Amino acid sequence: MIDQFTLRMGLIGNPLGHSLSALMHNRTLACMGLNGIYLPMEIAPPYLGQAVLGLRALSFTGVNVTIPYKQDVIPYLDELSSEAQACQAVNLIQHRDGRLIGHNTDGRGFMASLLEEGVGRLN
């Protein structure tokens, strides 16, 4: 049931017709019995700033960021993690204590997949 306690999450980008993120994340939330919703939000370029400000106003817990906004979103954020600063790209916006914090998890995910496949391990 969606109510005032529902965790609001989503994906911003343009276009999003190809994305399976909402399907995947909403199924996961349901399977885990969590009161949350993951919304795909296709944002036209002129409205990116307003959309990011809306995340704060609507108390979104966080959103993923995809093409073409991974760099364009940075000026609208309050803070960047060290990873996001290093690559000057954001793929996750966290709303914490009224602040919007940009993160980049691409590098970590890439390294984890390499290690999972045995690349980089000493035999």
Name the catalytic one among 25, 38, 70, 91. Answer: 70
Neighbours of 76 (CB within 10 A): 19
Q: Would you call 70 a catalytic residue per the annotation?
A: yes
Phi, psi of 102 (to 5 degrees): -90, 135
- The answer to whether the Cα torsion of 20, 23, 27, 28 is positive or negative is positive
- Give the active site residues: 70
